[in-house]
Amino acid sequence: MPVTGRFDAEYVAAFFDAYGRREWDRHDASPAARVSFTLHVELLAEFVRGGDLVLDAGAGPGRFTIELARLGARVHVGDISPGQLELNRQMVTEAGYDSAVVAREVLDICDLSQLASGAFDVVVCFGGPLSYVRDGAPDALAELVRVTRPGGHVLLSVMSTLGAMRAFLPAVVDEHRRFGPEHIDGILRTGELRRDTNRGHEMRMFRWPEVAALCAGHGEIVAASAANYLTAGPESAVPGDLSEDEWQRLLSWERHICREPGVLDTGTHILVALRTPGAASAGRL
C-alpha cells in the first residue's frame, strides 16, 4: 500500500465534535448521498438478523444505529467523538429506538481492548472510519475482526479515491489550480487528503485492490459494492423532476450496477461484507 499519513485521534475527535449535525444531514445532501445511504442500509439487511448483537463502530449521529434497531438488532454504539455520541443519543431517542442500544461509549477502532474477542455477531463500520484512521487502518480492521464471532460479518465502507475524483471533479480542478499538479498527482498516488488543503477534513481514500489487500487474511469477502455509480457524477446530470416510481427505478439500476466488479472503484464509497474465519451458524449467510 502507499505511504499513509499518521492517524491523529484527538484531531479527528475534535473535528467531528465540531462537525455536529452535518454528519446526520449529509445522507440527504444529494442524489448520490441518498443512493449511498440506501445501499448501505440494504447491506445491513442482508447480513443482520433480529436478536443479533451488533457493534456500530464510528456510529456518528445514529443513522445506521436506527436502521440496525429497525432490523431487531441489539446495538453497542461506539464513536471517537463524544459530541457525535451525544447526538446519537438524541437522534436515536427521537426516532424511538434507544431501547435497542445496549451500550454507548467512546471508542477508537484502532484499540478495542475494552471489548471481548468474538463478542459481536456483526460489526458495522460504515461511513469511512477506516479512512479517517489513515495509517491505523490495518490495526483497526484487525480489531474489528477480533471482536466479531467466528463466522460473523464485518460490514465496512471506505472512501473511494477514483470515485471521489469523479464525484467532485469541479473541486479537483479548483485544487489543481490552487495547489498545482503535484497536489492532485499525490492524491491519485496515495489517496491522502490533508487537513490544510481539504477544509480541515483529513483522510485516506482507497482503491479496490487496496481494500482487497487490507481484508486479505482476515476472512472472506462475501459482498462488495460501490456506494453509487449513475448518480455519482455531476449532480446536474440527475433529472430534478423524477417521480417516486422513477426514483425507485433508478435505485434498482444502481443496485444492479454497483456490484459489478468493474464498477467497485467508481462510487463515493466502497462497501464490503467480510465473513470472519470459522464455521457460520446454521441458516446464516
pLDDT (tens digit, 9 = 90+) per residue, 212-241?
999 999 999 999 999 999 999 866 678 888
Q: Is the pLDDT of residue 109 over 60?
A: yes
Nine cell digits for residue 129 = 472510519
Let me know: does 155 contact 272? Beta carbons within 8 Å.
Answer: yes
Q: What is the pLDDT of residue 235?
A: 65
Average pLDDT over residues 201-207: 95
- pLDDT band, very low/low/confident/very high, at 281 (cuts 50, 70, 90): very low
Average pLDDT over residues 12-18: 95
- pLDDT band, very low/low/confident/very high, at 199 (cuts 50, 70, 90): confident
Q: Is the pLDDT of residue 282 over 50?
A: no
With CA atoms as reference, report the closest residue to 16 among 84, 92, 104.
Answer: 84
More confident residue, 257 or 170: 257
Burial of residue 10 (CB within 10 Å: 0-12, 13-18, 19+) is exposed
Average pLDDT over residues 119-125: 98
Q: What is the pLDDT of residue 236?
A: 63
The Cβ of residue 116 has, within 10 Å, a number of other Cβ atoms equal to 10
One-letter identity of residue 40 = H
More confident residue, 274 or 166: 274
Let me know: does 141 contact 218? Beta carbons within 8 Å.
Answer: yes
Nine cell digits for residue 26 = 449529509
Let me know: does 44 contact 155? Beta carbons within 8 Å.
Answer: yes
Average pLDDT over residues 25-29: 91
Q: Please give the model's pTM, rounded to 2 decimal places.
A: 0.94
Average pLDDT over residues 198-223: 95
More confident residue, 4 or 85: 85
Q: Is the pLDDT of residue 4 over 80?
A: no
How many Cα atoms are found within 13 Å in the side-chain-facing hemisphere of 227? 30
Buried b (16+ CB within 10 A) or exposed e, 242-271: eeeeeeeebbeebeebbbeeebbbbbbbbb
Angle (CA) 109-115-118 rounded to 5° is 100
Instruction: Round to whole Å and give the CA distance between 218 and 122.
Output: 14
Q: Is the pLDDT of residue 251 over 80?
A: yes
- Cα distance from N-terminal residue to C-terminal residue, the chain: 30
Average pLDDT over residues 172-201: 91
More confident residue, 233 or 121: 121
Mind listing the pLDDT tens digit for each residue in 37-54? 999 999 999 999 999 999
